[in-house]
Amino acid sequence: MPALQNDILIRALLKKPVPRTPLWIMRQAGRYLPEYRATRKRAGGFLTLCKTPELACEVTLQPVERFDLDAAILFSDILTIPDAMGLGLSFTEGEGPRFSKPVTCMKDVQRIAATQPLEGLDYVYDAVRLVRQELGGRVPLIGFSGSPWTLATYMVEGQTSREFRKIKGMLYAHPELLEHLLEILSQAVVEYLLAQVRAGAQAVMVFDTWGGVLSREAYLNYSLKPMRHVVTELLKTGTQPVVPITLFTKGVGQELADLAATGCHAVGLDWTMEMDQARALVGSRVALQGNLDPAVLYGPDEVIRREVRKVLEKFGTGSGHVFNLGHGIQQYVDPEKVVVLVEAVKEFSPAYH
């Protein structure tokens, strides 16, 4: 593999000195880009796009080609693991993911335990290898997975949910069933991320989209505990060079300190917590990633620049900050606003290093 020419993302995640704050954007390869929409139309469907390595590589590279970003993130979906477990994943335009065989009982969990999901995910690893080759060392490639809890929510609910009635019902009525499912998923996530690293991913991220819907006690037991297992197992491998691990739970505040205590290298923030408060909570244990409100990109250029400066000011001086949105970029954002964002971070951030 070619040597990495721009490694400031990796250095910042490891809290090493950098000349400026690195930047990438969650969902940076997505529907706000006309070239992505064209490729998806050519693919004929979202799952085909994800499962065709050449097309996944193409859309992974699109934002890197268009914007001066400091990382590429693999184009894939967080539901690849449960799909490979045979739950019958499909996507309906405007409705999101749906499983035809949701998990409802111990028999379902035992059936999942007997599967070999990683054997059905070669298309992901092939895409990683292709992207690394096409990047040519320009920027690092981030691999990712959904968190065990987030994967479980979709697998039990069968689709996106607002109330999480089924999985929360399982949590309180049949906790042993949920715990068994999370154990299976935790190990699957470990193996999945390791396979991405072996294929060429240079940093990894765990997206815990739905941890914020839990009470603190439930969060610590059913969301954080499985993620801690993932981090512990990944760190045991002693990969060299070090592959930084970032954990991101949407909708948590005080639990940031608990996330930082897992042993991960970085913690992602959504836009509901101020960067200075987060830094006070985690101290020097981890780097912080985030956390501009994605809706800021609907504002005029001067507002985007002002809000970028605020995020940088609230983090303050020193390394350990990766600039990002507080969640994924939204589909109606004008791509030219991303140019404004990138230029602002590059203009203002050197003063803090």
Q: What is the pLDDT of residues 294-346, one digit of tens each?
A: 999 999 999 999 999 999 999 999 999 999 999 999 999 999 999 999 999 99
Which residues does 44 contact at the CB level (< 8 Å), separation at least 6?
A: none
Q: What does the alpha-carbon distance between residue 346 and residue 350 come to, in Å, rounded to a whole number?
A: 7
Q: Is the pTM of this model over 0.95?
A: yes
Is 125 designated active site?
Answer: no
Q: Which of 7, 20, 40, 305 is catalytic?
A: 40
Is 40 designated active site?
Answer: yes
Summarize pLDDT for 41-72 with one digit per residue, the tens: 999 989 999 999 999 999 999 999 999 999 99
pLDDT attached to residue 230: 98
Is 309 designated active site?
Answer: no
Q: Which of 154, 192, 219, 222 is catalytic?
A: 154
- CA torsion sign, 33 to 324 to 243 to 252? negative
Which residues does 79 contact at the CB level (< 8 Å), separation at least 6?
A: 89, 97, 146, 151, 154
Which residues does 221 contact at the CB level (< 8 Å), separation at least 6?
A: none
pLDDT band at 94 (very low <50, low <70, confident <90, very high): low
The mean of the pLDDT values for the chain is 95
Is 77 designated active site?
Answer: yes
Q: Which of 31, 98, 285, 309 is catalytic?
A: 31
Is 27 designated active site?
Answer: yes
Q: Which of 70, 77, 208, 270 is catalytic?
A: 77
